[in-house]
Chains A and B, each alone.
Chain A
Amino acid sequence: MRMADILSRVYVAALFVFVFLPILTSVVFSFNSDRFPTVPLGHFTTHWYETAFSRPEVWLAFKNSLIVAFCAASLSTMLGFVTAYTDFRYGFRFKTAYLALALLPPTIPLVIMGLAMLAWLGRLGLSGTLIGIIIAHTVMGAPFAMAICRMRLQQMDPALEAAAWNLGASPWRTMASVVIPFSTPALISAFCLTAAVSFDEFIVAWFVSGLNKTVPVMILEILQGNVDPQINAIGTVVFLTSITLVILAQLLILRRSAT
C-alpha cells in the first residue's frame, strides 16, 4: 500500500475516534471512582449507577421517557406511513407543497419548536403534560418515519397492487394483505428510529415538560449544577438504549434491501 493510502485510512480512523470519543468517555468514566474525572483513572466502581438508580425520580424519568418514546414512535410511524403511501401512490395538485409540509419540521431549530409548542400547547391546556411532549416528538419524528417508509415502498413493484385489484381485492384488502406486509420491516425500523429520536430529545421536552420530566430533561437540569458522575451512569444507559434502537433500525433497512 502506498504511503498516501495509509495516511488517508489513518485520517478516517482519527475522525471516527473524534466522533465516538465522547460516547466512550461517558462509558469509561461511569465506572471510574474519581469524582473529578482525569487520567490516570481511579479504580473500577458501580457506585455512580447505584447512587443514580437509587433515586426514585430517576426511575420516574425513565418511565416517562419510555411512555413518551413509545407513543411518539407509534404516532410518527403511522403518520409517516400514510404520508409515504400518499406520495408513492398518488399525484395531485400542490403535491410539492404537501411534501414540503411533511418534511419541513427537522429544519426548524429545536429551540424555536420549543417556544412555539410551549405557547400553543398552553392555549390547548396541554402544557406540562406528557401528551404535550408526545405531540411535539411526533411532529419531529414523522419526517424520519416517512423517509424510511418511502424508501421501502420504492422497492415495491407498483403493478403488485394493480394485480391484487384485478384479482378482485378491494383497495383496503390490498393494503392489508399486500402493502402493509411488504412494508413491515420499514415500519419496525421507523418505529425504532423515531423512538430513539424521542428518547434523546430534550430541548422541546424541556420547554413543555413542566414537572413531568423525561430522562434527558433531568440530565439537563443536573448539568446546570456541578460536575456529577451520575450523569455518566445515566448517560451510558441512555446511549445503550438509543444505540440499540438505531442499530436495530439499520439492520432491518440493510436486510430488506438485500432481499
Chain B
Amino acid sequence: MSIFLDHNATTPLEPRVLDAMLPLLRGTHGNPASVHRFGREARVALDRARAQVAALVNAQPPQVMFTSGGTEADNLALRGAVHAAPRSRLLVSSIEHAAVQETADALAKDGWAVERIPVDSECRVDLPALEKLLDGGARLVSVMLANNETGAIQDVCAAAGLAHARGALLHTDAIQAAGKMPVDFTALGADLMTLSAHKLNGPRGVGALIRNRRVDLSPQITGGGQEQGLRGGTENLAGAVGFGVAAELARVELNARCRHLRALRDHLEAQLKQLSGVRIFAAHAERLPNTVQFAIDGYAGEWLVMELDRRGFAVSSGSACHSASGRPSHVLLAMGCNDTVARGAVRVSLGVENSVDDLDALLATLGAITARRRGAVAFA
C-alpha cells in the first residue's frame, strides 16, 4: 500500500461523493435534454449540482457552466474571451498551469498578442508589471488563484482591480485553491473562474467555468445548445452530481480541512528543515495549507521522486501534466531559480486522509535516502 502525497495532481474520491454518483451510474437516467420524466429528473439533479458548485465559490447557479474538466474550462475562458473580441491582447501570468500556458501559446501562433506577467522570487505575480502591461490594452488577464507547484496564493482581487480599470476582463484558474481556502468569485471581482472536481475529492472528467454573465464568450464546443449555448454535448450527469456533492462537502468542511492540512504541512516543513540543504520554495509567500515544494541540495527532483516511489510514496516533482517531458518547472524558472535548482524540486501535496504518521514515514525515508547518497553525485 503506497502513501499518496500528490493531491495537487488528483485526489481520491470522497466516499460520500461516490455514494451520490453510484445510483446515477446504475439506474436508468435520461438525457437532461429530453422532455420525458427521465430527462426532467436528470435536469433537476444537474441544477442541484450547479447550485452546490456555485455555493462553494459564492457565485450564482446560472453563472456555473459545466465542462469536461479544468483544462477545457481554461481553454474556453481564454479562447472564448479573445475570440469574442477580434485582434485583442491577452496577458497571462508566467506561472500558469499548462492548460492556460499552452492555450495562450496556441493563440499566439494564431496571431493574437500574448504577454507574460512576471512573478517575484516568492512566486507572486508582479502587480506593478501587470499595470504596465495593461497600459498597452488587453481583452483578458489570466492570473491563477493558487499555484499548483508552490502553492503560492495570488492577489487576484488586486489584479482584477487593475484589469477592470483598463477595461480588461480577469480570468482566474482557481482549480488548486477551491476546497483548500475560501474562494469568493464575487468578492474577488473575477469575470471568469475555472474549477475542477477531481482536485477537491470529486470525480475526474468534470470541471466548471464560472462566468459573470456580462462577459461575451464564443463557444469552443458547439452542438446541442447545452450550458447556455456555450458548451455543447450531453452533460456528464454522474460527474456533475459528484462535483456538486464534493463542492458541498468542501464548503461545509473547509475550516476543519484547512486546519488539518496546515497542521500537517507545518509539521512536515519543520521536520524538513532539520535535513541539511533543504530549500522550501515560496516559503515567504502566503500559500495553500497543503503544499510544500522543496529541493534538497545535491539531489535531482526526478531521482528523489523515483526513489520515494520505489518505497511506496507517491509525490511529484511538479505538475503531473509535465512529468513525462523532463523539462524543469517553468514556475521555478519564472521565480528566477537556475536550471539546477529547478531540477531539484519535489512537491508534496497533502490531502485530508493523510496523517502525521504518513509524514513521519516520508521524512524517515527521505532521511535514509539522503544519508545513503550523501556526498554521491545525484545528478545522473
A binds B: no
